[in-house]
Chains A and B, each alone.
Chain A
Amino acid sequence: MKRFSWFNATSLTLGFAFLYLPMIILVIYSFNESKLVTVWAGFSTKWYGELFRDQEFLDAAWVTLQVAVFSSTIATVLGTMAATVLVRAGRFAGRTLFSGMIYAPLVMPEVITGLSLLLLFIGIGLDRGIFTIVLAHTTFAMCYVSVVVSSRLTSFDQALEEAALDLGCTPFQAFRLVTLPIIAPAVISGWLLAFTLSLDDLVIASFTTGPSATTLPIKIFSAVRLGVSPEINALSTLMIGIVTIGVITASLISKRAAVAQARDERAAARTA
């Protein structure tokens, strides 16, 4: 059987073109000399320079970074705790309901999440700004973290924690000294995932933000309504770069941990 038929080649090209053509065009035009987005006038990096002189964009970038760091960190702590409880607590009444409820926000339309958070913040009289975006992002990123961490925890030998307790650790010490170092790759990739999710979120952020805090996606979206500028292209290219690095790092970390684990298990099986 011919593995690489014309049909396969065409499907592949079409599929990838569909996925990546828009982004490639965006990246190419970010290096356009002309101010007109659709007319190519030679290679230039001047829009990147312009971008770094635009105070509004820099402010938005700073807000976005703060939101991403805080929300992903809080989400990682909460998500790891949730995963630990769900994997460890064994059978208790309503366990399935609990784990289902953790995962539900993954499939919840963002508009709904954003709207309900907005109503909550108005209801309790919380001034909208960076703080509320951090809360909102923590809410949805936490589910992703708990999914990543709990999949690692299910293959974790519980005897290790018992051994730590047996040797004199308090339950918290056992977690900090034994469990956490072992599941660290999963926790880190969960953090990176949460970070990138927060970085490019538009919908939830626009529901929960106030006049004082504008994140980059919001800034881009509103700027585009006045017309696409090459500056926006440059900014988007940078964001694509950051997100790509984040996602690749996250998957590399978890993959390497999986490989190391498999190697250890093989070594153990060989010498046992």
Chain B
Amino acid sequence: MSQTVFAPWNDPDETPLIRFKGVTKRFGGFTAIDDLTLDIYAREFFALLGPSGCGKTTLMRMLAGFENATEGTIELSGQNIAPIPPNKRAVNMMFQSYALFPHLSVWENIAFGLKRESTDKEAISARVEEMLRLTRLTKFAKRKPHQISGGQRQRVALARSLAKAPKLLLLDEPLGALDKKLREETQFELMDIQEKTGTTFVIVTHDQEEAMTVASRVAVMDEGRLVQVDTPDVIYEAPNSVYVADFIGDVNIIEGHATPEGERARIDWAEGQPPIWGTPRGAAGTGSGAGKVAFAIRPEKVAIAKEKPEGRRNLLEGQVIDIAYLGNSSTYHVKIADGRIFKAQTANTRRLVNRDITWEDRVWLSFTETAGVILEG
């Protein structure tokens, strides 16, 4: 089976489902969203990621119709949605608290939206049954929300918001109330349901792993602005700023002064220390590879060894200060020349007792010239 890559954002002929055009939202003197422009395409699973208070929930509530933009326009299928009240939008929302109606059964909760637009009892009933099957809730149809578990309630909320087959489904921290194991299962379930129904999902989350797992594209937000909008792998491998690099996953950041030398750039970061060699990312448009820069490298891209490895230009010597044992991997905290801590992560392919590196050991850290990214300082 040939599979075309799903990337409508790279296709200039594709029209976006949602367009934010210069949207600003102020609450009194506080600017929640600051001149934001963003396109989201049909069938995308789009994640808004950021710390609390970054404006991601406000952005979502504007799509649902609970808030209006102070400036700028939001278009859904080419139509300005500002004058359309929430009950007239082809947009449904799954609330963080689920907001299930406590006086109605699971069945009635799911049927609630359908009953507002149709009186055809059989059609409603068929659709509710379909939703119950999709979310594996058939057994619980007659129960009240307080009689089912948190995971089941989450699925009722999802079924209810999907029942009207919206063009766009908004999910506000949908998995926040679930424990880790259930959350991971549910993430895959969400992706599965998103694919089956072909609905465009916009999810708000502060959990970067969740965003990386489910989303086709991730928007990292900070203080009402979009810092980077890209696919999860680009966000992780080629963050465009120290903020993104630091927010997503674990990272070592070294400030220094870069000088381009041929294809590579030489970064001088401490007196009397050998420079770090990196690759300027002209294509990604960030880091000209000159001047004051920050060099960011993920711990798992740093190799650790007791003997000095041959043939590598990027070498740092240090001493193991701490080891975080995570089961499948271990993170070594290594103190390097100027006293800073550098993290290196290795997969635990051998049993713990056979590990040759331990506390206080002198070690060598090494990485390739393309492993890290050079960011504007």
Which residues of A line the B interface, CB within 8 A? 157, 159-160, 162-170, 173, 177-178, 181-182, 263-264, 267-268, 271-272
**Given A162-B95, A166-B92 in contact, is the A271-B112 Cβ separation under 8 Å?**
no
With an 8 Å Cβ cutoff, the count of chain B residues facing the other chain is: 32
Which B residues between 120 and 157 are near A, CB-CB below 8 angstroms? 146-150, 153
B66 at the interface (CB under 8 A from A): yes
Contacts of B153 on A, CB cut-off 8 Å? 268, 271-272
* Cα–Cα distance between A29 and B99 once the two chains are bound (Å): 57
Given A165-B86, A167-B164, A271-B149, also A182-B102 (CB < 8 A): yes
Q: A159 and B103: CB pair below 8 A?
A: no
What would be 7 A-B contacts, judged by CB atoms less than 8 Å apart? A166-B65, A167-B161, A168-B88, A168-B113, A181-B103, A264-B146, A272-B150
Is B87's CB under 8 angstroms from A166's CB?
A: yes
**Given A167-B113, A168-B113, A181-B103: A268 and B146 interface contact (C-beta under 8 Å):** yes
Chain B residues 182-201 with CB under 8 Å of chain A are none
Chain A positions within 8 Å of B65 at CB level: 165-166
A163 nearest in chain B by CB position = B99
Known A164-B112, A167-B113; contact A267-B95, beta-carbon cutoff 8 A: no
Q: A265: shortest Cβ distance to chain B, in Å?
A: 8
Report the separation of the CA atoms of residues A166 and B101 in the bound assembly, to the nearest whole angstrom: 13
Q: Which B residue sits closest to A266, measured CB to CB?
A: B146
The smallest beta-carbon distance between A228 and chain B, in angstroms, is: 50
Task: State the CA gap A182–B99 with chains docked (Å).
Answer: 13
* B contact residues around A167 at 8 Å (CB): 87, 92, 112-113, 116, 160-161, 164
Knowing A167-B113, A167-B164, A173-B116 are in contact, say whether A162-B99 is a contact too (CB < 8 A). Answer: yes
Question: What are the 6 closest A-B residue pairs judged by CB atoms, nearest first?
Answer: A167-B113, A168-B116, A272-B150, A163-B99, A264-B146, A159-B99
For residue B24, give the distance in angstroms from its CB to the closest CB of chain A: 21
**Across-interface contacts of A170 in B (CB, < 8 A):** 87
CA distance A257 to B101 in the complex (A): 16
Complex: A166 Cα to B94 Cα, angstroms: 9
B96, B146, B147: most-surrounded residue (chain A CB, <10 A):
B146
The answer to whether A169 and B146 have CB atoms under 8 Å apart is no
Set of chain A residues within 8 Å of B64, measured between Cβ atoms:
162, 166
Closest A residue by C-beta to B150 = A272
Interface core residue of B103, B153, B161 (most chain A CB under 10 Å): B103
B93 close to chain A: CB less than 8 A: yes
Please give, as numbers and ranges, the residues of chain B lying within 8 Å of A168 by CB-CB distance: 87-88, 113, 116-117, 164
> B80 in the interface, Cβ–Cβ < 8 Å?
no
Contacts of A166 in B (CB 8 A): 64-65, 86-87, 91-93, 113, 161
B97 at the A/B interface (Cβ < 8 Å)? Answer: yes
Q: Across the interface, do B86 and A271 meet the contact criterion of CB distance under 8 Å?
A: no
Set of chain B residues within 8 Å of A272, measured between Cβ atoms: 149-150, 153, 177-178
A9 to B92, CA, bound (A): 63
Closest-by-CB residue of B relative to A272 is: B150
Nearest A residue to B144 by beta-carbon distance? A264
A248–B215 CA distance with the chains assembled, in angstroms: 56
Q: Taking the nearest CB of chain A, how far is it from the CB of B29, in angstroms?
A: 14
Q: Given A167-B164, A168-B164, does the pair A159, B116 have CB atoms closer than 8 Å?
A: no
Chain A hits for B177, CB < 8 A: 272
Task: Name the A residues within 8 Å of B85 (CB-CB).
Answer: 165
Distance to closest chain B CB from A54 (angstroms): 46
Kindly state the separation between the CA atoms of A181 and B101 in the bound complex, as whole angstroms: 10
Interchain CA distance A170-B88 in the complex, whole Å: 9
CB atoms of B146 and A267 under 8 A apart: yes
CB of A26, distance to nearest CB on chain B (Å): 43
* B146 proximity list for chain A (CB < 8 A): 263-264, 267-268
Those of B51-107 within 8 Å (CB) of chain A: 64-66, 85-88, 91-93, 95-97, 99, 101-103
Contact B101 A160 (CB under 8 A): yes
Who on chain A is nearest to B103 by CB?
A: A181
Q: Which residue of A lies closest to B157 (CB)?
A: A163
User: What CA separation (Å) do A166 and B166 show in the bound complex?
Assistant: 11
Tell me, in angstroms, the Cα distance from A166 to B168 when the chains sit together. Answer: 12
Q: Please indicate the chain A residues that have their CB under 8 angstroms from the CB of B116 in the complex.
A: 167-169, 173
CB–CB B66/A267 < 8 A = no
Q: Is the CB of B99 within 8 A of A157?
A: yes
How long is the Cα–Cα vector from A167 to B99 in the complex, in angstroms? 12
CB distance A162 to B66 under 8 Å?
yes
Chain A residues closer than 8 Å to B86, beta-carbon distance = 162, 165-166
Query: For residue A168, which residue of chain B has the nearest CB?
Result: B116
Bound together, the chains give a CA A162 to CA B148 distance in angstroms of 22
Smallest CB gap from A160: residue in B: B99
Q: CA of A231 to CA of B117 in the docked complex: distance in angstroms?
A: 61
Minimum Cβ distance to chain B for residue A190 (Å): 18
A267 nearest CB neighbor, chain B only: B146
Query: Which B residue's beta carbon lies closest to that of A91?
Result: B28
On whether the beta carbons of A163 and B95 are closer than 8 Å, the reply is yes
- Kindly list chain B residues whose C-beta atoms are within 8 Å of the C-beta of A157: 97, 99
Min CB–CB distance B160 → chain A (angstroms) = 7
Interface string of B225-247 (1 = CB under 8 A from A): 00000000000000000000000
- Between B85, B86, B103, the greatest number of chain A beta carbons within 10 A of the residue's beta carbon is seen for B86
How far apart sit A169 and B164, CA to CA, in the bound complex (Å)? 13
A-B contact sample (6 more), CB < 8 A, given A173-B116, A268-B150: A162-B99, A163-B95, A163-B160, A177-B112, A272-B149, A272-B150
B192 CB to closest chain A CB (Å) equals 23
B149 to chain A, nearest CB (A): 4
Please determine whether A267 and B103 come into contact, CB atoms closer than 8 angstroms.
Answer: no
A263 to B146, CA, bound (A): 9
Q: Whole-angstrom distance from the CB of A95 to the nearest CB of chain B?
A: 15
Alpha-carbon distance between A162 and B97 when the two chains are bound, in angstroms: 12
What residues on B are CB-neighbors of A264 within 8 Å?
102, 146
What is the minimal beta-carbon distance from B334 to any residue of chain A, in angstroms? 41
